[in-house]
């Protein structure tokens, strides 16, 4: 199991060094293109769309994990180790998450319109009427929510599959493909039937990681003397956001960092003790500490169990 700890450590290091290279041949981009082949709306009979969503999910996950299994089973250990490290780095979006937020901040320095254009890459809401603070909210709440989806959940499933099967990368790749399907199809528009199963599976797979993230965030804010504020906003605002996972990190980070996340007309999470411009760096530092702590716990489990 110690080799799993080595894989996790260097996977995180490589992600911090290179992030997500923008390429049409990036593994996640390739997964997205395959999802786009079968995940087309208004293409199937309405009554068959849920079945297509279930079948497409199973097919996509199977196709994605098959190369992982073949490499792990039929190549020398040093080849499978190198593959696992690189694949895990592609499954984790720690650096890219921060880069997306940084891109919004940089765009806002050039004006409100540039900020609106930049934040459109992170959120699905209409950005035309957003204020500076609401633009930043879209960026930082996306970072808070994706702390689970882009960082902690891939680490969690890597550790679980490594402990159970000595095939940690299969778990991380499985989650990344499932989360990509949810990101592309899990909306309440004309994709609602096609994306129903991918959305439910993403909720299930992120359920435990979201709560582990919440526990670690509470520990961080306890050490910072902000646990009362974090817990208060968690109790009152975590259900303001639709879904039962994303509201956990968003409410705890909002309360612990003393900021407010707002999606106009939908929700307000937190109390604005300071603006997001003032509290943004604290949010990023909190995400970093949560990542480091969760990764350290995972590595210790892999070494000692």
The tens digit of pLDDT for each residue in 72-87 reads 999 999 999 999 999 9
Domain span at residue 43 reads 2-304
pLDDT score at 1? 63
pLDDT in tens, 132-176: 999 999 999 999 999 999 999 999 999 999 999 999 999 999 999
> What is the distance between the alpha carbons of residues 172 and 266, in angstroms, rounded to a whole number?
32
Per the structure, how many domains does the chain have? 1
pLDDT in tens, 86-117: 999 999 999 999 999 999 999 999 988 999 99
pLDDT in tens, 182-228: 999 998 889 999 999 999 999 999 999 999 999 999 999 999 999 99
Q: Answer yes or no: are the C-beta atoms of 286 and 256 closer than 8 Å.
A: yes
Q: What's the pTM?
A: 0.96
177 has pLDDT over 90: yes
Beta-carbon contacts of residue 135 (< 8 Å; ≥ 6 apart):
104, 108, 112, 115, 116, 119, 127
Q: What is the DSSP string of 14-52?
A: HHHHH-----TTSHHHHHHHHHHHH--TTSS-GGGHHHH
CA distances from 256 to 249, 269, 291 (A): 10, 12, 16
Tokens of 180: 């990509």
> What is the distance between the alpha carbons of residues 89 and 294, in angstroms, rounded to a whole number?
16
- The pLDDT of 26-53, averaged and rounded, is 93
Q: Measured between alpha carbons, how far apart are the two ends of the chain, in Å?
A: 8
pLDDT score at 6? 97
Tokens of 281: 């760096």
262 DSSP β-pair partners: 268
């Amino acid at each position: 199991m110690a080799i799993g700890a080595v894989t996790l450590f260097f996977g995180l290091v490589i992600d911090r060094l290179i992030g997500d290279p923008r390429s049409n041949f990036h593994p996640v981009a390739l997964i997205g293109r395959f999802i786009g082949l079968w995940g087309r709306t208004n293409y199937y009979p309405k009554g068959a769309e849920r079945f297509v969503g279930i079948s497409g999910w199973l097919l996509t996950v199977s196709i994605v994990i098959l190369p992982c299994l073949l490499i792990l089973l039929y190549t020398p250990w040093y080849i499978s180790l190198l593959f696992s490290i690189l694949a895990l780095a592609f499954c984790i979006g720690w650096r890219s998450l921060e880069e997306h937020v940084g891109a919004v901040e940089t765009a806002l320095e050039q004006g409100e319109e540039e900020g609106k254009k930049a934040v459109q890459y992170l959120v699905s809401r209409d950005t035309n009427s957003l204020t500076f603070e609401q633009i930043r909210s879209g960026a930082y709440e996306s970072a808070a929510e994706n702390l689970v989806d882009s960082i902690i959940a891939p680490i969690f499933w890597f550790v679980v599959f490594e402990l159970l099967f000595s095939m940690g990368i299969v778990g991380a790749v499985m989650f990344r493909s499932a989360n990509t399907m949810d990101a592309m199809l899990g909306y309440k528009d004309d994709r609602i039937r096609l994306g129903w199963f991918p959305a439910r599976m993403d909720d299930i797979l992120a359920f435990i990681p979201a709560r582990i993230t919440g526990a670690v965030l509470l520990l961080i804010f306890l050490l910072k003397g902000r646990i009362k504020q974090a817990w208060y906003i968690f109790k009152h605002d975590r259900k303001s956001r639709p879904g039962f996972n994303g509201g956990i990190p968003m409410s705890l980070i909002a309360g612990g960092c003393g900021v407010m996340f707002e999606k106009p007309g939908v929700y307000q999470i937190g109390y604005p003790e300071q603006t997001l411009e003032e509290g943004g760096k604290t949010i990023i530092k909190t995400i970093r500490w949560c990542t480091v702590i969760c990764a350290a716990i995972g590595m210790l489990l892999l070494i000692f169990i």
